[in-house]
Amino acid sequence: MATATPSPVPVKLSLFRLFLVYLKVGNLTFGGGDPTMAALQTEMVASRGWISDRAYALVYTLARITPGTNLLAFCAGTAWELLGWPGAIAAVLAMTVPAALLVLWVTAHYATLQVHPFAMAALGGVLAAAVGIMIAAAWQLARPSFSRRSWIQAGIVLAVAVLLSFPGTRIYLTPLRVLGLAALVGLLWEIPA
Amino acid sequence: MKVWLLYLILMKAMLTCFSGPTSLPVVHHDLVEKYHVLSDKQLTTAVAAGRLTPGPFGLYLVSVGYFIDGTPGAIAGFLALITPAFLIIPMLFYLGHRVNKPRIRNAVRVLTLASAGLLLTTTIPLARVAIQGPLTIGIALGTFVLLVFLKRSTIWAIVGGAAAGMLFYLIA
């Protein structure tokens, strides 16, 4: 439900309890945004009834069009529905702080690893895996737009974005300009679902 | 580079994308190509470090920030990651269901497609650093298959890549 103020919470919910739910789901669910949002849906809608299906669906939709990381916007939105701004801040911190500390630790020890040939061999494999991760991310972003009715239009948009962003060519545009152009095209040219 | 400038650059990258990986082209353009404060190898390492955890993809910004300016840079990266998430609150407050219009959804679809194209282009210079022979080609392809077709978590790709690298080192 679109609300001018956060939804009334059907059960007594403390900030700490909310923090623990996001901490558990956010830091124990591997696989990215969609599995984590599905796990939160189980926790908050199906199991506890904290949020209505309608409010959940609205936050889910809005999170998709909020700039930045959809998952964090989703967490901020659902927690705001429950406990306002303190809830939103607690949820986002619960989702990110433990993982961010782990990333910081790994990066800080990167220089130490560089002096060990065995560790560097492992790192070489990890960097190659990171390339695969990026190509897979591009595939997963583009795939839902390629349906039987839309593959030509989707293919044109994808190919034009690649061509325009290819460094060293005469038609090169910065990523920001490519995105601006895409937003304009998206408002004027409808791609069938 | 000043920490506030780093924060603004990383924020700009996050504000112009609709998911963690799609911020990569802007980060690469600004920090690698324009300001020369980050190398392709560091950016690729940051992506790998970010995927070691179950958190969102955008956590690589913490690693990017650390490579550029140590702990203050990491904090700037972390804040740039989380700040845009709170934009959903004024959207819930003022817009509600009005934003659920076909034209807006279509614009987001085209933006997402363009972001995928930008991500592919950004991967090219990073692949030049990371792909050094048949083993690394195999690891990159194996990762793609693992994530796209077998639907496994990225943590297995990272662990598998590290294991393959170490195994090859022991054998060679």
Q: Is residue A7 part of a domain?
A: no
Determine what percent of chain B is predicted with pLDDT higher than 90: 49
Whether A86 and A139 map to the same domain: the answer is no
In the prediction, which pLDDT does A91 show?
A: 95
Q: Quick one: which H or E segment has residue A113?
A: helix A110-113
Q: What is the average per-residue pLDDT within A123-131?
A: 87
Whether residue A99 lies within 8 A of chain B, CB to CB, comes out as: yes
Domain end, chosen from A65, A88, A108, is at A108
Whether A100 and A61 map to the same domain: the answer is yes
Whether B116 and B167 map to the same domain: the answer is no
Cβ distance B157 to A132 less than 8 Å, yes or no, reads: yes
Q: What is the average per-residue pLDDT within A161-183?
A: 87
Domain end, chosen from A108, A143, A178, is at A108
In angstroms and rounded to an integer, the radius of gyration of the C-alpha atoms of chain A is 21
Closest residue on chain B to A94 (Cα): B55
What are the chain A neighbours of B57 within 8 Å (beta carbons)?
A: 32, 69, 137
What are the chain B neighbours of A189 within 8 Å (beta carbons)?
A: 110
Model confidence over A79-123: pLDDT tens digits? Answer: 998 999 999 999 999 999 999 999 999 899 877 777 788 888 888
Provide long-range contacts, Cβ within 8 A and 24+ apart, for B97-102.
B97/A2, B97/A58, B98/A2, B99/A61, B99/A62, B99/A65, B100/A58, B100/A61, B102/A190
Whether A165 and A84 map to the same domain: the answer is no
In the prediction, which pLDDT does B98 show?
A: 66
Whether A30 and A102 map to the same domain: the answer is yes
Domain end, chosen from A80, A108, A136, is at A108
Whether B33 and B77 map to the same domain: the answer is yes
Model confidence over B56-111: pLDDT tens digits? Answer: 888 999 999 999 999 999 999 999 999 999 999 998 888 766 666 788 778 878 88
Determine what percent of chain B is predicted with pLDDT higher than 70: 97
Q: What is the average per-residue pLDDT within B8-23?
A: 86
Whether B65 and B104 map to the same domain: the answer is yes
Residue recorded with tokens 């690589």:
B60
Whether A142 and A121 map to the same domain: the answer is yes
Determine what percent of chain A is predicted with pLDDT higher than 70: 90
What is the ipTM score, two decimals?
0.79
Higher confidence at residue B119 or residue A101? A101
What are the chain B neighbours of A103 within 8 Å (beta carbons)?
A: 49-50, 52-53, 55, 59-60, 62-63
pLDDT at residue A132 is higher than 80: yes
In the prediction, which pLDDT does A1 show?
A: 43
Whether A70 and A129 map to the same domain: the answer is no
Looking at every residue in chain B, the average pLDDT score rounds to 88
pLDDT at residue A3 is higher than 80: no
Q: What is the average per-residue pLDDT within B44-49?
A: 89
Looking at every residue in chain A, the average pLDDT score rounds to 83
Which structural domain, as residue segments, surrounds residue A157? Answer: 113-188
Whether B68 and B45 map to the same domain: the answer is yes
Residue recorded with tokens 């991500």:
B119
Q: What is the average per-residue pLDDT within B14-23?
A: 81
Whether A103 and A119 map to the same domain: the answer is no
Question: How many structural domains is chain A composed of?
Answer: 2
> How many C-beta atoms surround the C-beta of residue A178 within 10 A?
25
Cβ distance B110 to A66 less than 8 Å, yes or no, reads: no
